Amino acid sequence: MNHDLMTNNPLLIVSAIFVFFILLEIACSAFRQPRGQRRDVLIEAVGSSLLLGVTFPLVMWASGALMGLALPQAKGMLADTPWVLGLLLFLIFDDMTQYWWHRLTHRLPALYALHRAHHSAPYMSIRIVYRNNSFYYLLMPGIWFSGVLIYLGLAPVYYGYLILKMTVIFAAHSSVAWDDKLYRIGFLRPLMWLVERVFSTPSTHSAHHGLSAEDGVTHYKGNFGNLLFLWDVLFGTAKITRRRPVTFGIEHLASVSWKEELFWPLVRSRKARSAAHAKVDTALQTGASAEG
C-alpha cells in the first residue's frame, strides 16, 4: 500500500514534506517575515499557483505529447533500466541542466528578468521555493527532459527522484538554519563536510540569495545547484562559509512591480518599454547610416 502510494502519488508525499517545513518555520517563528510586503505575498501565491497548477502540468503533458508524435515506438523503451542508472539520467538531464539554466539566467539580463522574482524576496523561507516567473519554468530544459524520460518509461524512478530533490530544495530554502546544529556535533563534522559539498544546504544556498556581495558571505554569482551542490564544486562556482548573509534581495537593480516580476515580458514597465524602443530606434538609425 505504501509502495503504491509513493509510486502513484509522489505529489502527495512532496506536499506533505512541504507542509512539514511550513510547520517547522511556524514553530520556530520564522514563517511570517517582518521584512516582507504585500507584493511578496502576491508573488508567492500567484507564482506558486501558476507553476503547480499550469506550467508544470503543461510541460509534462506537452513533452509526452511531442514524443508521442515524434517517436511513438520509443514509449516505455527504458522501463527495464536499472534504478540507479535511471536516477543518474535524471541527475544529468534534470538537475545538471537546471544548474546550467540557473547559471545562464544570472549571466544574461534578459533571462534574469525571468528569475528576479525568486531573488527579490528580502528573506529566506520555504515560501520562496516556487517564487518565480512562469516563463522561467516554461523554458527550463530539465522539466522538458524529465517529461521525455518519463515517456521513455522512467516514471517510477522520477517519482522517487522528485521526492528526494524537493526535500533537499525545501530544506535549502528554509529560514530555519537546521544545518548549523549539525555542524556543531563533533562526530558529524566529517559527514557534514561531505554533505555540504554534495547537496544544497541552507548555508550554501542562502549565500546565493544574499543582498550584498561585499559582506564576505553572499555569492549570487555562484552556488547555483538545486539538488546537487556538487555541480558548483565541479564547475567552479562553489563558495562554502557556513555563515549566512544578514540581508537578502537584489542589489544594483531598480525595483519593478510584482506583476512585471511574474509576467515579464508580457508585462513591462513604461521605462523598460521606452528603453526597448530606444534600442530599436538606435539600431534602425545605425542601419540607415550604414546603407547611406
Are 175 and 31 spatial neighbours (Cβ–Cβ below 8 Å)?
yes
274: pLDDT strictly greater than 70: no
Q: What is the pLDDT of residues 150-181, one digit of tens each?
A: 999 999 999 999 999 999 999 999 999 999 99
pLDDT average, residue stretch 116-143: 97
End-to-end CA separation in angstroms for the chain: 76
Q: How many CB atoms lie within 10 A of CB 132?
A: 26
**Cβ neighbours of residue 281 under 8 Å, at least 6 residues apart?**
none
Are 132 and 54 spatial neighbours (Cβ–Cβ below 8 Å)?
no
161/60 Cα distance (integer angstroms): 15
pLDDT average, residue stretch 194-208: 98
131: pLDDT strictly greater than 70: yes
225/237 Cα distance (integer angstroms): 9
Cell numbers at 67, concatenated: 514524443
Q: What is the pLDDT of residues 13-44, one digit of tens each?
A: 999 999 999 999 999 999 999 888 999 999 99
Q: How many CB atoms lie within 10 A of CB 197?
A: 17
pLDDT average, residue stretch 130-134: 95
Give me the residues paired with residue 210 across strands: 248
Instruction: Give the model's pLDDT for residue 7.
Output: 52
Instruction: Give the model's pLDDT for residue 10.
Output: 84
292: pLDDT strictly greater than 50: no
Residues in the chain: 292
Instruction: Give the model's pLDDT for residue 49.
Output: 96
pLDDT average, residue stretch 264-283: 60
Higher pLDDT, 138 or 292: 138
81/98 Cα distance (integer angstroms): 23
Are 50 and 134 spatial neighbours (Cβ–Cβ below 8 Å)?
yes
Give me the residues paired with residue 26 across strands: none
Are 223 and 229 spatial neighbours (Cβ–Cβ below 8 Å)?
yes
For cell 509576467, name the residue: 263
Q: What is the pLDDT of residues 57-84, one digit of tens each?
A: 999 999 999 999 999 999 999 999 999 9
Mean pLDDT taken over the chain:
90
Instruction: Give the model's pLDDT for residue 284.
Output: 28
Instruction: Give the model's pLDDT for residue 57.
Output: 94
Q: What is the pLDDT of residues 231-263, one digit of tens each?
A: 999 999 999 999 999 999 999 899 999 999 999
Q: What is the pLDDT of residues 217-235, one digit of tens each?
A: 999 999 999 999 999 999 9
**Cβ neighbours of residue 157 under 8 Å, at least 6 residues apart?**
81, 83, 86, 87, 89, 90, 149
DSSP string over 239-266: ---S---S-BS--SS----HHHHHHTTT
Are 123 and 41 spatial neighbours (Cβ–Cβ below 8 Å)?
no
Instruction: Give the model's pLDDT for residue 269.
Output: 78
Instruction: Give the model's pLDDT for residue 271.
Output: 64
